[in-house]
Amino acid sequence: MKTKIPYIFSAIILIPLFVLFCFFDNPAGRTGASFMNIFYAAPGWLTPVLLVLSVVAVVLFIILLINEKTEDTGIRKQNNNVLLRYAFFMIVVALLQLFGANIIRNLPFELSPTTKSTLSFIMVAVSVDLIGFPLLFLLLKKVPSTPVTKQKIKFPQYLCYMLMSAGVVLVGAIAGAAVHTFICAPFGGASIELQKMLMDSAPLPRILVAGILAPVFEELIFRKLLIDRINKYGAFFAIMVSGLTFGLFHGNFQQVFFATLLGFLFAHLYLKTGRVELTIGLHMMVNLATTVVTNTLLQKIYAVNPNLDSSAEYLTAHPEVATYFGLLGLWIMALGAVCVAGIIVLIVFLATKKFVLAKKDAEPSKSEALKAFFTGKYSIIFFLIITGLFLLSYLPVVLHMQ
């Protein structure tokens, strides 16, 4: 019975979603503030999208049932076993988040922007942490794993990883912003949905979900659960798969570059120490600095100065605004200095080959690892799903201009 638990769990999640979005149509003339209108008031583009995602999820569910046996017979087979389960996990999370976002958007009563943002954070936590993580954990239980041996690390070394984390975030964020803006420019400008959610949010849910829960569960998902099942094939393969799946999971170009680079760095630290609590600590540091401290200062400024007037006359008349501008400037300068120091440390690490880890017995070559990751039968499905989720994140921007 235990072996069937993940599939029963999956069915409990999928069947209601499939019924709600694939078989219920919007009845002609349905009006009013009925609670059931939540399920009928979806944007026109959302119904076919949810239908496709639901069908894909059901197909993956059937494949998982057929391929329940997960004996480790080589790098390609193990990669297929793992990516199939991560593809299913990502589809389920996407379905839950679309479902939740539609409910929040169409509640039959008015919500303040702060309340909407709080509900959005709750939706993210429920879909990834409370449902997605247990589902993935159960699905991966039968996949053979080799836990990483625990090793100590001195604080100066850990401090180097802290600095490098800041450095790769800066590099990745600049690249991501450029690509994101370039893609959105023909349709009237970049999407601001993520920024709006953060700017409208209250401090407590933002700190709890973005600053604490996300680092804990994402590190368990993309480091502990994932690397323990692939590290026997060498550090290169484990770091590549962990970093790319983590980056691609974010589903948009604003985040994919810095998330992927962080994924590589965190994967290396986990392989070096076997201690996921260290990568959780780094992840918390990054999220708290970027989504909590910076956004809190910006919120303070917007609350009293929505036009961002920085003229000398305005700041003289409103000393509290000048204080917040000063604190934000000091914070940005401090972050900039840390990021630059991190880039220098990263260059030194690369130049002195400090990222090189001991090789495993019969470890595949880099070309074999790349071939196994990108050309497996379920790798192709995984990347098709990721591509679809990326396109989905930009669909509202495109359709808004049509």
Of 1-5, 10-14, 153-157, 288-292, highest mean pLDDT: 153-157
DSSP state for residue 362 in the 8-state scheme: T
- For residue 358, the SS3 value is coil
The pLDDT-based confidence of 72 (bands split at 50, 70, 90) is: low
Rg value, the chain, Cα: 23
Same domain, 34 and 159: no
Same domain, 212 and 255: yes
Q: Determine the pLDDT at residue 140.
A: 93
- DSSP codes joined into one string, 35-86: GGGGGT---TTHHHHHHHHHHHHHHHHHHHHHT------SHHHHHHHHHHHH
Q: How many domains does the chain have?
A: 2
Same domain, 182 and 325: yes
Same domain, 358 and 370: no
Same domain, 249 and 318: yes
**Alpha carbon distances (Å) from 52 to 23, 37, 59, 82, 357:** 13, 22, 11, 23, 42
Collect all residues with Cβ–Cβ distance below 8 Å to 238 and sequence separation of at least 6.
227, 230, 231, 267, 271
Domain that holds residue 74: 1-144+365-402
Query: Each residue of 78-107: pLDDT tens digit?
Result: 999 999 999 999 999 998 888 888 778 777
**Would you state the structure tokens that stand for residue 45, as one six-digit string?**
């583009």
Query: Each residue of 101-149: pLDDT tens digit?
Result: 877 877 777 888 888 888 888 999 999 999 999 999 999 988 989 999 9
Query: Each residue of 149-169: pLDDT tens digit?
Result: 999 999 999 999 999 999 999
Predicted TM-score (pTM) above 0.85: yes
- What mean pLDDT do residues 297-311 have? 73
The pLDDT-based confidence of 371 (bands split at 50, 70, 90) is: very high
| Residue 223: closest CA among 259, 255, 268 | 268
Determine contact, residues 37/106, Cβ cutoff 8 Å.
yes
Same domain, 31 and 130: yes
202: left (phi over 0), alpha (psi -120 to 50) or beta: beta
**Would you state the structure tokens that stand for residue 341, as one six-digit string?**
């120091």
Query: Each residue of 228-237: pLDDT tens digit?
Result: 999 999 999 9
Same domain, 133 and 178: no
Same domain, 275 and 186: yes
- What mean pLDDT do residues 315-323 have? 76
